[in-house]
Chain A
């Protein structure tokens, strides 16, 4: 089986693509997105939650952990982020990423997944106000 890039195996162009997707997702949703690509611990979920907890603003953050070595993907949403991005939407994004990962396209999967997460968490524009005066 062919190895896939992880961590610093990415080219500058690939990192730029992920950065672009993260920036777009943040602009759309108002949440903070982080992507970690590297080796996770045996309990990948717990490790992802610890990474998420160590971010600057965990409640409003969404962490995407991808371990290409052990073929693990975890998405963690904070308490505030979860209000606009529920677990079902995260599961759908995970499935999209999984499809690309299976084909060996780690960068493409991350870009698609982060975009999908940002789209799902998009804050609808309010066209009315409760202020009567």
Chain B
């Protein structure tokens, strides 16, 4: 339904908008909203990426073991003794491993 744009009695006559006002309303304001939404999303992504790409820690964590991150030497019982020389040494150490 088309509503006639009549000026009501007692009201001043409305001035027709200029071309600049029309452009601002139809293009400027939507553009501003789009830019704001894009900026918010971009900043959010950058902050998330900054958290995810934190540099790996230089130090390792030891709980109830050797402190610090010094060089690890071969186990004393294995010095100069290869697995072929004494296969029972290999069997003395047990355990398990996994990847994820």
Residues of A within 8 A of B (CB): 2-3, 6-10, 15, 18-19, 22, 26, 32-39, 44-45, 47-55, 58-59, 62-63, 69, 71-79, 81-82, 85-87, 90-91, 93-95, 97-98, 101-102
Q: How far is the CB of B65 from chain A (nearest CB, A)?
A: 3
Contact of A38 among B64, B69, B76 (CB under 8 A): B69
| A contact residues around B19 at 8 Å (CB) | none
| A-binding residues in B (CB < 8 A) | 52-54, 56-66, 69, 72-78, 92-100
Nearest CB on A from B42, distance (A): 20
Complex contact B97–A45 (CB within 8 A)? yes
Q: Is the interface of B mostly helix, strand, loop or mixed?
A: loop
Rounded to whole Å, the gap between the CB of B52 and the closest CB of chain A is 6
Interfacial chain B residues near A55, Cβ < 8 Å: 65-66
Residues of chain B within 8 A (CB-CB) of A35 are: 61-65
